[in-house]
């Protein structure tokens, strides 16, 4: 006769195995994603960025194009205002048409590539996976916030970063072009003489 007590005992015994299997599955997923992105030499996509501020109950949505190769990443915002953010290993350059300023600063280990954003939190988080017909929904819960991502064919289509206050930024990528020739001079940031340049990289 199987009693409630014996069922609970078996559950306690099986729980570590279930958790281990989930961790193994999570590690396998990360290996698959990493392997996929390791084959990417050039990347181009449309993106939507949604920023939300919980305390003010407000948000803003932007869109544009993202391009990157092995050394450079640039996000060219088209709406609601023209902005440019370029990231290299050495510097971050941000141009705003509203302020008519361009700021250059040192890069202190910041990367905006989708895989690097995900990996930044992977090893410090409790990982939850939800498998669906298209791929996986991933939630990373860590002290101070969480990250959610939608993975399809080992590519990151959505990634959302939440801080401890509930503020968030979401990136959605679409119309991806992988290992195609990028537009000529796409990583050059050209501004006219009226733009104020603030160089803090020295």
Q: What pLDDT sits at residue 6?
A: 55
**Residue 142: closest CA among 160, 127, 158:** 127
Q: What pLDDT sits at residue 60?
A: 93
Q: What is the CATH number of the domain that holds 125?
A: 2.50.20.10
Q: What pLDDT sits at residue 89?
A: 87
Q: Cα separation of 200 and 49, whole Å? A: 26
* Under 8 Å between Cβ of 136 and 128: no
Handedness of CA 117, 120, 123, 126 (dihedral sign): negative
Tell me the two tokens of residue 119.
């990996």
pLDDT in tens, the chain (202 residues): 445 555 545 545 544 544 444 778 888 999 999 999 999 999 999 999 999 998 888 899 999 999 999 999 999 999 998 999 999 989 999 999 999 999 999 988 778 899 999 999 998 988 988 888 889 999 999 999 999 999 999 999 999 999 999 999 999 999 999 999 999 999 999 888 899 999 888 7
Q: What pLDDT sits at residue 23?
A: 78
- Total domain count for the chain? 1
User: Which range marks the domain in which residue 156 is found?
Assistant: 4-200
Q: What pLDDT sits at residue 202?
A: 74
pTM, 2 dp = 0.84
Q: What pLDDT sits at residue 54?
A: 86
Tell me the two tokens of residue 64.
């544009």
């Amino acid at each position: 006769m199987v009693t409630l007590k014996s069922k609970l005992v078996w559950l306690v015994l099986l729980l570590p195995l279930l958790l281990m299997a989930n961790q193994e599955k999570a590690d396998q997923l990360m290996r698959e994603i990493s392997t996929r992105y390791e084959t990417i030499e050039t990347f181009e996509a449309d993106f939507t960025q949604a920023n939300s501020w919980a305390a003010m109950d407000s948000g803003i949505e932007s869109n544009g194009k993202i391009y990157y190769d092995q050394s450079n990443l640039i996000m060219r915002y088209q709406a609601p205002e023209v902005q440019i953010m370029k990231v290299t290993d050495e510097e971050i350059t941000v141009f705003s048409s509203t302020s008519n300023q361009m700021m250059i600063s040192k890069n202190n280990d910041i990367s905006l590539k989708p895989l690097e954003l995900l990996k930044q939190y992977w090893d410090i988080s409790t990982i939850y996976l939800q498998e669906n017909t298209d791929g996986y929904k991933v939630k990373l819960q860590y002290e101070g916030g969480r990250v959610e991502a939608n993975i399809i064919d080992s590519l990151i289509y959505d990634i959302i970063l939440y801080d401890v206050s509930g503020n968030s930024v979401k990136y959605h990528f679409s119309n991806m072009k992988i290992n195609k020739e990028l537009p000529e001079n796409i990583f050059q940031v050209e501004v006219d003489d009226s733009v104020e340049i603030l160089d803090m990289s020295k």
